[in-house]
Each structure stands twice: as structure tokens, then as C-alpha cells.
Homo-oligomer: A and B are copies of this chain.
Amino acid sequence: MARLALGIDLGGTNVRAALVDRDSGRIVAARKSPLGSRAPEAVAAAVVAAAREAAAAAGVEPGQLGSAGVGVAGQCLGVSGVVANAPNLGWRDVPLGAMLERALGLPARVANDLFAAAWGELRFGAARGFSEVLVVFAGSGVGAGMVVRGHLVEGARGVAGEIGHVRVRPPRGGAPRRCGCGQTGCLEAWAGGMNLSARVREDLQAGAATAVREVVGGDLARVSPAAVEEAFARGDAYARDLWEEIGELLGTAVANAVTLLNPARLILGGGVLMGCPGLAAAVRRHLDAAVSPSAAAGLTVAQAELGDDAGLVGAALLER
């Protein structure tokens, strides 16, 4: 097997390609390109260009690599290589794997970006050495990767790990919020960064008294989870209540997944959790309170270690 593997992280606005050392998980060369058109052919061409540039920087031809792996922010149907639904790209049922295999002359594995990141953390990050792992990322969306007996859990259609779309009920009642997936009441409708920001904007427009307004200088476009965290750090009551509510929803959902799966290692990551320590503390508190004691015994919890590189490294090393 070739020493280097090609990993690709396909988001809604950029594509990143990297050559990864299979033995160390080290990124040997990487390229990042903005996406122009989101048409599947144009995106595939941008992916191939980034991959060729990264390979050239590492001094290899793509054909010399054993395989390529792609993490996509969307639902990917297992080994078929089909992206069933990628809202950020506006895609439905795009056979990305087959398109890239033709263009690169390599077998290409397509997977959800959080699967890929979970795999990266398992192989070379905070879950290294564990065979029963749950990884939960809360960023613009919320998702999970699960490892059982050392293998990623993909599910029958390849869409396992959708913890962002479990149904939850907020502690203080209120109308269920609509999720990007079309359902109402999903965890992500409350705890996903994009939905969280939208809700705070609504509250500000409705006249909520909160320091978030000062933090963003009155500019609603600047509302973000980080702005709420800043208000929280200033002792703002609105931010405190919001973090308590989101912390309970997210912490309880993570606890329930731990109770169901009994992992040895829980990894928490993603931009919202990593960037908002006040929220992360509330999540941990509610996690500890809600998890089954028998599943909690022996569980260790850690922050993700690979940051933005987890998806690239994991995609490169995905099992076929």
C-alpha cells in the first residue's frame, strides 16, 4: 500500500485536499480552493484540481496513491459513493464517488464529514487506542461518529450518527423549531450554530434585553455563538439562560447516546463547543447528570484534538 493517502474535505464554500502519511496521520501537503459553481461537475473538477495540486506538492502522481477519501457535509449513502443530500451544496443524489474515481483514476470513498472526522480522531487524535468511541461535534450543524469494535458505524444506508436529528423537547417548553432537514423538534434546530444564531437574531429583533446586542455593536449580521459566549462571560442573564437550555438539550442527547452505546471514550468537538466554554461546561454538567451510571463508569471524556484537520486525516484513512 502506498505510504501516502489522499484526503478531501468538501464543505459548502471550500474544498481542501491533503496528502496524509498513513503511518503517522501527518499532513504532508495540503491545498485549499474556493468553490465557484456548486454544480456537481464543477465541484468535482475543483476537487480534482485541489487533489492534483496537493499531490504535486508532495511529489507524487494521484495514480500512485492507493485510494482517495472524501468527507462531505451531507448524507452519504455508504459504499455507493452517492451524496444523498448536501444542503450547503444544494445537492440531491449526486454520484460523487463515481465522478471522482473516473477523474482521479483512483478508488474513492465518500462519507459524511463527521464520520471522517470521528475516524481521524480515532486513528490519530483524542480517541487513539480506543475501540468503542462516540464523537459528537457541534458546529454549524450537530452530528456524531460512532466506533464499535474498532469500526465506524455507518448504518444500513450510511446515515448513522445523525444525533443532530434526534427529537428533543426544550426544558422550558415553547414552540418546536423547524430544522434545516425539514422536520421540527430536531436537536440541531436548537443547538446547531446556524439555528442558534438565527434564534438569537429573532430574540434581538423582538427586543430581548441582552449584552449580545452590545457585543455585536447592534449589527445582527454579526450574531454568532461566539457573541453569545462573550455576553455570557460578561454575566449576561439572557446568555446564561440560553446556554443552560442548549446545554441541557445537547448534554442530555449526548448522555442518551452514551447510555445506549456504552463507549469507553467520548470526544466532544466542533466550532460551537470548542469556541464556547460556557456552553461546553453546561453540556458537561447535564451530560454527567443524565447519563446512566453503569455506562458512565470507566468513560473518559476529551476534547477533539485534530481540529479542522480531523476530517482531512480521517477521510484519507477511511476503511473501504
Contact = CB atoms under 8 A, between A and B. Distances in A.
A156 B262 contact: yes
A261 B297 contact: no
Interface in A159-187: 159-163, 165-167, 169, 171, 181-183, 185-186
A260 interface: yes
B159 A260 contact: no
Given A132-B155, A153-B148, A295-B155, A260 B167 contact: no
Contacts of A257: 260
Interface string A274-288: 000000000000000
A260 B148 contact: no
Given A149-B151, A153-B148, A256-B166, A182 B262 contact: no
A58 interface: no
Given A166-B259, A166-B260, A159 B84 contact: no
Q: How large is the interface on A (under 10, 10 to 19, 20 to 34, 35 or more residues)?
A: 35 or more
A264 interface: yes
A263 interface: yes
A75 B262 CA distance: 12
Nearest to A182: B293
Contacts of A27: none
A303 interface: no
A298 interface: yes
Interface of A: 75, 84-85, 132, 144, 146, 148-149, 151, 153-163, 165-167, 169, 171, 181-183, 185-186, 252, 255-257, 259-264, 290, 292-295, 297-299
Across the A-B interface, the 6 shortest Cβ-Cβ residue pairs: A155-B262, A156-B264, A166-B256, A160-B262, A167-B290, A165-B292
